[in-house]
Amino acid sequence: MANSIRGLLDVATLTQMIEDEQIETVLTVMPDMYGRLMGKRITGHYFIQDVLAQNIHACDYLLACDMEMDPVPGYAFTSWASGYGDFRLIPDLKTLRVASWLEKTAIILCDVYNEEEDIPISVAPRNILLKQLDAAKAQGYYPMGASELELYIFADSYESARRKHYHDLETIGHYIEDYHIFQGTKEEFLVGAIRKHLDRSGIPVEFSKGEWGPGQQEINLRYADFLEMCDRHVLYKHVAKEIAWQNDVAITFMAKWDERFAGSSMHVHASLWDKAGKALFPGNEAFGPVQCSPLFRWFLGGWMTHIREIFAFYAPYPSSYKRYVAGSFAPTGIAWSYDNRTAGFRILGHGSSLRLECRAPGADANPYLAYAATLAAGLDGIKNQIEPPAMFEGDVYEARDLPQVPFSLNEAIHELEKSVWAREAFGEGVINHYLHFFRVEQRKFDEVVTSWERARYFERA
């Protein structure tokens, strides 16, 4: 393997592994609007001989359907009227890696292009991030980041959970296990396997730990540039689900699966570097308790200014908003502070480790969209030299005069819809596409009578 990270492959190594019958299948995939991996299982020899030269094709409804794979009317991008044609998936060779959790399998992520021309599909999540990265690089900025991604583990399998209609599920732990080593040992059969296979598949892992819920764990990956981090993020979620299924248990990345327990986040850490690998956030200016550069302040200022406008990219479903509860370690007020977990923006580190942590995104967010929105907001802060408010000290949950995060998807949709800046940053077509996506999620929720409503109103209404 030519790449220095274990598990990553180059084409020559993959070719030899196919000849030696170490690899038989190449999962050739793209992330969809939900952040799921869609694609094909390609025979190894065919991948080398044909796919690398001619790409593969997939139906463009993959970027215009809902979670049930139903084609959704109302998208300008594609429709029944246009015949739901094809687009091309072009493998990104930098993402080629062993899929060690599967037998004799490799996996590669693809970019989505027009069927006839070499034009990226603008609404594809990975392309949306690439556009913002190009804008950053044009200014000499190379963003680095990491996701702190949490999940819940259940003693139920996916099949038994479905048979139970996702009620009365049994978490694998029965008490809050934040940092607990003993409870973590009980879950190591799964979490240890996830760590091991991620590491073997070119996704370096730093650690795992129990979190603030029964059966809740966090697995932290090594930080990387924004694109690589998002690729690692979607692969982590996919790998974790498949390994859970292999072990006859279930996991969920819902931001809030039960109102009684802590939600699951994907805290985003971000910093800017130059092409030579020098951190650009440290500096000589005193800013609260840190020494920073103007870029640091302006990036934070832009991010805070635009967070309500981009919030739907952090919390994409109606259930996502059940997570934002005071005293839950999820943010409610929009404020920044140094190493303060009640603040939506938590500043960490010194010198080259100085970084911004946003605690707003949930574990259900599509990372490409979340990171693209983050970068666009930060770049606008730099462009317009937007200063953040003064540092908040104390308990943000108790503050009464701070702006608040949106508390429903409808509220977040309204903020995105009225944002002139977002349309300039992402393009009219992209914003309209995702506004439709979010509205469909809200509409489908609104159409259903929930078990809570039946329990409350059936007899007594």
CATH number at residue 75: 3.10.20.70
Q: Which amino acid is at 1?
A: M
CB of 90 closer than 8 Å to CB of 119: no
> Which of 94, 121, 148 is at the close of a domain?
121
CB of 23 closer than 8 Å to CB of 47: no
Alpha-carbon distance of 79 to 421, in angstroms, equals 28
Residue 358: predicted pLDDT: 97
Answer yes or no: do 158 and 54 share one domain.
no
Answer yes or no: do 308 and 200 share one domain.
yes
Residue 427: predicted pLDDT: 97
- Residue range 26-45: mean pLDDT, rounded: 97
> Which of 67, 101, 121 is at the close of a domain?
121
Answer yes or no: do 43 and 184 share one domain.
no
- b/e map 11-38, b = 16+ CB within 10 Å: eebbbebbeeeebebbbbbbbbbbbbbb
- Residue range 375-381: mean pLDDT, rounded: 98
H-type helices in 201-290, by residue range?
Answer: 226-246
Residue 184: predicted pLDDT: 94
Answer yes or no: do 39 and 62 share one domain.
yes
Q: What percent of the chain has pLDDT over 70?
A: 99
Place of tokens 């259900």: 364
Q: Would 381 be classed as within a structural domain?
A: yes
Alpha-carbon distance of 58 to 319, in angstroms, equals 30
Answer yes or no: do 116 and 137 share one domain.
no
Q: Would 128 be classed as within a structural domain?
A: no
Q: Would 461 be classed as within a structural domain?
A: no
Residue 288: predicted pLDDT: 87
Structural domain of 156: 133-456
Q: Would 208 be classed as within a structural domain?
A: yes
Residue 2: pLDDT above 70? no
Q: Would 6 be classed as within a structural domain?
A: no
Answer yes or no: do 74 and 149 share one domain.
no
CATH number at residue 342: 3.30.590.10
- Residue range 253-264: mean pLDDT, rounded: 96
Residue 55: predicted pLDDT: 86
- Residue range 144-150: mean pLDDT, rounded: 96
DSSP 100-167: TTSTTEEEEEEEEE-SSSS-B-TTSHHHHHHHHHHHHHHTT-EEEEEEEEEEEEESS-HHHHHHTTT-
DSSP 372-390: HHHHHHHHHHHHTTPPP-P
Answer yes or no: do 383 and 332 share one domain.
yes
- Residue 38, strand partner residues: 30
Residue 323: pLDDT above 80? yes
Alpha-carbon distance of 162 to 52, in angstroms, equals 39
Q: Would 77 be classed as within a structural domain?
A: yes
Residue 276: pLDDT above 60? yes
- Residue range 235-261: mean pLDDT, rounded: 97
- Residue range 258-262: mean pLDDT, rounded: 95
CB of 380 closer than 8 Å to CB of 386: yes
pLDDT per residue as tens digits for the range 165-216 = 999 999 999 999 999 999 999 999 999 999 999 999 999 999 999 999 999 9
In this prediction, residue 116 has a pLDDT band, given cuts at 50, 70 and 90, of confident
> Which of 121, 150, 172 is at the close of a domain?
121
In this prediction, residue 268 has a pLDDT band, given cuts at 50, 70 and 90, of very high
Which candidate, 409, 407, 258, 276, places its Cα nearest to that of 352? 276
Q: Would 126 be classed as within a structural domain?
A: no
Q: How far is CA 60 from CA 63, 121, 234, in A?
A: 6, 10, 20
Answer yes or no: do 30 and 141 share one domain.
no
Q: Structurally, how many domains does the chain consist of? A: 2
In this prediction, residue 79 has a pLDDT band, given cuts at 50, 70 and 90, of very high
Answer yes or no: do 103 and 205 share one domain.
no
Answer yes or no: do 214 and 345 share one domain.
yes
- b/e map 149-165, b = 16+ CB within 10 Å: bbbbbbebebeebeeee
Q: Would 47 be classed as within a structural domain?
A: yes
Answer yes or no: do 372 and 229 share one domain.
yes
Alpha-carbon distance of 25 to 299, in angstroms, equals 43
Answer yes or no: do 114 and 161 share one domain.
no
3-state secondary structure of 275: coil
- CA torsion 412-414-417-422 (nearest 10°) is -40
What average pLDDT does the structure give for the chain?
96
- Residue range 418-424: mean pLDDT, rounded: 98
